[in-house]
């Protein structure tokens, strides 16, 4: 049969074909048709040419991907693909080029045509998507915080305002009403318009290579990468918070026009060359690309100081694409487990279940072995003992019984986490999910869907203790009388959020933190991770216990500051939903161009709720980061599964499926997964 795409009532593409390569071509064509503008933006971001399209505001991002040699790593990884995967990617790219359109609003506004894709472009898009997904920005913040605050800097540790996150959970068949496992989850990233994930069904009807998979794909990348239901097996992932990126403090000098770096054996040659970043309505910006023996230099300072990045994908020249075909063909937990042995980065927690009742948790990816000083800080490039010495193996894995449950939410999981990372998310989301699952033996897909919407604030008891003796007063009384749920219509949640932001701003005004306003690396691309007010807002989870214990971290009376902030918050919104509204980012932001309108719908939840719709206390109540997809996979009946994305299937604002899932997402509901071909339409 020839390839054909049908759609459900939300416009989600269901692609079927008689062969693998026909399927890949059709997936690429549909991705280009549905996401033409997004694919052009992703292509340019991955090649450091976005400023040519959107102007000078994109220069910092273009400079970073050029300096870190994203394209070079993608080319090497593409050359290393096995023949079958290379053919799969090539057919997908051919489909992209066949489906590209220039008649979409953003491209028409810019007077631009989409550029043709080369066969290695999906790898570059994937690599660029995850360049700032791991520990690099956090290491820059932690190093500067230790310089300023010493050991007390640990109190400011928290996953950053744009950091990675996710929930994933599963139970065996002994815990469900159907007797079959359930799997669910939601990835947390920056909420983008168009959305970062594309729902898709891929059905190959070759008798010798048949599969039928529903899942989520990154636009521009073939197959499904992270979350999928293949009929007999389903899987989910969260970021393992593993540390597979290291930063080295370099010393550079110029000798006879060459760049040298000071390594363990003295001054050594580097690879270096000059490039230019073309800029729309501006002059080209020169950029020097320097690669030391540690890795590419991504930033530099005065007097020859510089910082280089060493990451797993760049070192091995692979991006994990060898897992894509085995994942599509998976029939069991063992198949998914074996497929993910090829994974590189991001390093993920993986939860897998199948219809035979098997349940597995594992970590997948490449984690380097190196000294603790390198892992936990910025290493000295001249230190002979700071380098990598191999790969952590075996990575943690646990086989669970049908009566078990497994939860992963970026939290510290004991020894298995200590082996792979240093900084983890607070335990609240994981603890709340475990509480919702425990002692249940009749769980249904509807139960799992409801857990996605849980908006209970996990730190309510600590907040009440901190403020107990600070009142009475309107804000004080509203917080202490509140049920702790961050619901859109809640007056208590509004009072709490206003107080929290006022408290954070008072903290940020304290002189002890003033030096942190000067970052270690002064580059706008890292600003969201290095903003003092934002970091303090996200550090409250560590600061509140210190205040309750009677301590005075940094010499500050936190109880007094918290009490004073009650008065600052007196003029707060009536409900949480007035200010906690979805506000996705768009590539046009900051360019002077008007992005397509997205209604500012109120959303329940907050940073550390299971319903992660993150704000940045002290900076904004708006939700620009959180669940960028939600799903429940039912192994008993795939059509009882559900999924949703924040925007819709189409990136074209004129399409009825551009934003038709936004109301569902904002209300905490899922759209049905439809697999009956008779219920689909062209």
The predicted-structure confidence for 213-227, as pLDDT tens digits, reads as follows 999 999 999 999 999
Task: Report, as residue numbers or ranges, the catalytic residues.
Answer: 166
**335 lies in some domain:** no
276 and 157, same domain (yes or no):
no
Q: For residues 635 and 118, what is the distance between their CA atoms, to the nearest angstrom?
A: 38
Q: What is the pLDDT of residue 2?
A: 87
Identify which of 408, 419, 14 has the alpha carbon closest to the alpha carbon of residue 236: 408
Has residue 512 been placed in a domain?
Answer: yes
Mean pLDDT of the chain: 95
Specify the pLDDT at position 239: 94
pLDDT at residue 550 in the model: 79
pLDDT(331) > 60: yes
Specify the pLDDT at position 158.
63
Q: Is 580 helix (H, G, I), strand (E, B) or coil?
A: coil
Confidence of residue 160 (pLDDT cuts 50, 70, 90): very low
Instruction: Tell me 681's DSSP state.
Output: B
Confirm whether 527 is domain-assigned: yes
What is the C-alpha separation between 258 and 239, in angstroms, rounded?
40
Flag whether 307 is in a domain.
yes
- Boundary (domain end) residue, out of 257, 292, 315: 315
> Is the backbone of residue 592 left (phi > 0), alpha (psi -120 to 50) or beta?
left
Specify whether 490 is located in the same domain as 611.
Answer: yes
Is residue 509 situated within a structural domain? yes
Find residue 234's DSSP bridge partners: 229, 353
Residue 577, domain CATH: 1.10.1400.10
The pLDDT, as a whole number, for residue 159 is 52
Read off the pLDDT of residues 251-280 as tens digits, 9 standing for 90 and up: 999 999 899 999 999 999 999 999 999 999
Q: Quote the domain boundaries for residue 542.
A: 150-162+454-625
Residue reference for tokens 């110029």: 254
Residues 158 and 297 grouped into a single domain: no
Same domain, residue pair 619 and 472:
yes
Whether 552 maps to a domain, the answer reads yes
* pLDDT at residue 505 is higher than 50: yes
SS3 at position 348: strand
Q: 626 has which bridge partners?
A: 189, 613
**Is 578 among the domain residues?**
yes
Integer Cα distance of 389 and 404 in angstroms? 37
- Predicted model pTM: 0.96
Same domain, 613 and 484: yes
Region 603-628 average pLDDT: 94
Q: Which two tokens stand for residue 158?
A: 């928290």
What pLDDT was estimated at residue 164?
A: 56
Q: Is 246 annotated as a binding residue?
A: yes
Mark which of 625, 647, 668 sits at the end of a domain. Answer: 625
* Whether residue 488 is found in the same domain as residue 599: yes
Residues 501 and 592 in one domain: yes
pLDDT tens by residue, 339-382: 999 999 999 999 999 999 999 999 999 999 999 999 999 999 99
Query: Is position 573 within any domain?
Result: yes
Asked whether residue 509 falls in the same domain as residue 615, the answer is: yes
CATH code, domain with 291: 2.30.120.10
278 CB-side CA count, 13 A: 8
What mean pLDDT do residues 626-636 have?
Answer: 97
Structurally, how many domains does the chain consist of?
2
Last residue of a domain, one of 285, 315, 345: 315
The pLDDT tens digits of the residues spanning 575-601 come to 999 999 999 999 999 899 999 999 999
pLDDT of residue 161: 46
Query: Under 8 Å CB-to-CB from 679, ≥6 apart: which residues?
Result: 8
Residues 156 and 277 in one domain: no
Q: Under the phi-then-psi rule, with left for phi > 0, alpha for psi from -120 to 50, and beta for the rest, what region is 69?
A: left
What's the rounded mean pLDDT across residues 615-629?
A: 94
* Percent of the chain surpassing pLDDT 90: 90
Answer yes or no: is pLDDT of 79 > 80: yes
Report pLDDT digits (tens) over 433-460.
Answer: 999 999 999 999 999 999 999 999 999 9
* Beta strand extents in 28-171 (DSSP E only): 165-171
Claim to verify: residue 157 and residue 256 sit in the same structural domain: no
pLDDT tens figures, 21-37: 999 999 999 999 999 99
Run of H or E residues at 25: helix 20-34
Q: What's the confidence (pLDDT) of residue 552? A: 87
Cβ(220)–Cβ(227) under 8 Å? Answer: no
Supply 512's token pair: 């002890």
Share of the chain above pLDDT 70, in %: 99
Token reading at 532? 């003092």
158 and 303 within one domain = no
Phi-psi region of 557 (alpha: psi -120 to 50; beta: other; left: phi over 0): beta
Select from 259, 258, 379 the least CA-distant residue to 310.
Answer: 379
Question: Are 154 and 292 members of one domain?
Answer: no
What number is the average pLDDT over the span 81-85? 98
Indicate the DSSP class of residue 543.
Answer: H
Judge whether residue 324 has pLDDT over 60. Answer: yes
Whether 243 has a binding-site annotation, put simply, is yes
Q: Residue 542: pLDDT band by 50, 70, 90 thresholds?
A: confident
Q: What is the mean pLDDT of residues 30-49?
A: 98
């Amino acid at each position: 049969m020839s390839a054909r795409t049908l759609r459900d009532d939300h416009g989600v593409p269901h692609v079927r074909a008689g062969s693998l390569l026909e399927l890949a071509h059709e997936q690429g064509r549909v991705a280009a048709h549905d996401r033409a503008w997004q694919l052009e933006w992703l292509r340019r971001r991955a090649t450091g040419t976005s400023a040519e399209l959107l102007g000078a505001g994109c220069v910092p991002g273009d400079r970073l991907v050029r300096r870190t040699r994203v394209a070079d790593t993608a080319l090497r990884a593409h050359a290393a693909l096995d023949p079958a995967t290379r053919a799969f990617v090539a057919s997908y790219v051919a489909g992209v080029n066949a489906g590209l359109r220039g008649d979409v609003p953003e491209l028409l506004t810019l007077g631009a045509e989409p550029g043709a894709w080369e066969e290695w472009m999906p790898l570059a898009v994937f690599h660029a998507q995850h360049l700032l997904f791991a520990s690099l920005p956090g290491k820059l913040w932690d190093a500067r915080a230790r310089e300023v605050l010493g050991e007390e800097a640990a109190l400011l540790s928290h996953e950053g305002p744009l950091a990675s996150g996710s929930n994933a959970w599963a139970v065996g068949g002994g815990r469900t009403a159907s007797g079959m496992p359930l799997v669910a989850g939601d990835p947390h990233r920056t909420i983008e318009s168009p959305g970062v994930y594309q729902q898709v069904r891929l059905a190959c009807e070759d008798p010798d290579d048949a599969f039928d998979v529903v899942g989520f794909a990154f636009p521009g990348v073939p197959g499904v990468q992270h979350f999928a239901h293949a009929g007999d097996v389903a899987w989910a992932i969260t970021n393992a918070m593993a540390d597979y990126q290291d930063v080295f403090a370099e010393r550079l000098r110029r000798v006879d026009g060459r760049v040298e770096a000071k390594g363990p054996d003295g001054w050594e040659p580097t690879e270096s060359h000059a490039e230019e970043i073309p800029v729309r309505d501006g002059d080209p910006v020169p950029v020097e690309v320097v690669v030391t023996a540690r890795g590419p230099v991504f930033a530099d300072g005065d007097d020859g100081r510089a910082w280089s990045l060493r990451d797993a994908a760049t070192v091995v020249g692979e991006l994990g694409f060898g897992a894509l075909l085995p994942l599509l063909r998976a029939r069991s937990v063992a198949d998914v487990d074996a497929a993910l042995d090829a994974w590189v980065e991001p390093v993920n927690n993986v939860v897998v279940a199948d219809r035979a009742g098997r349940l597995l948790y594992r970590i997948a990816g490449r984690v380097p072995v190196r000294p603790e000083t390198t892992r936990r800080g910025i290493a000295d490039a001249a230190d002979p003992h700071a380098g990598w010495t191999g790969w952590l193996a075996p990575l943690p894995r646990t086989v669970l019984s049908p009566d078990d449950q497994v939860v992963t939410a970026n939290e510290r999981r004991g020894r298995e986490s200590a082996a792979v990372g240093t900084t983890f998310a607070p335990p609240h989301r994981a603890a709340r999910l475990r509480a919702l699952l425990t002692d249940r033996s009749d769980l249904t897909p509807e139960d799992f869907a409801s857990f996605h919407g849980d908006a209970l604030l996990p730190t309510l008891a600590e907040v009440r203790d901190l403020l107990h003796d600070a009142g009475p007063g309107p804000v004080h009384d509203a917080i202490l009388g509140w049920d702790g749920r961050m619901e859109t219509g809640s007056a208590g949640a509004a009072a709490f959020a206003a107080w929290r932001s006022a408290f954070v701003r008072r903290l940020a005004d304290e002189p002890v933190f003033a030096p942190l306003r000067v970052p270690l690396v002064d580059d706008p691309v890292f600003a969201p991770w290095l903003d003092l007010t934002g970091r303090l807002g996200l550090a409250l989870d560590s600061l509140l216990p210190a205040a309750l214990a009677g301590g005075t971290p940094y010499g500050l009376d936190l109880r007094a500051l918290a009490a004073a902030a009650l008065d600052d918050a007196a003029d707060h919104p009536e409900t949480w939903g007035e200010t906690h509204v979805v506000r996705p980012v768009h590539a046009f932001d900051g360019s002077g161009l008007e992005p397509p309108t997205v209604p500012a719908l109120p959303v329940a939840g907050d940073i550390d709720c299971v319903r992660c719709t993150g704000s940045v206390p002290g900076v904004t109540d708006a939700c620009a980061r959180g669940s960028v997809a939600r799903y429940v996979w039912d192994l008993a009946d795939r059509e009882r599964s559900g999924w949703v994305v924040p925007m819709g299937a189409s990136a074209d604002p004129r399409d009825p499926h551009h934003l038709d899932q936004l109301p569902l997402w904002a209300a905490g509901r899922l759209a049905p997964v439809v697999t009956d071909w008779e219920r689909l339409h062209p």
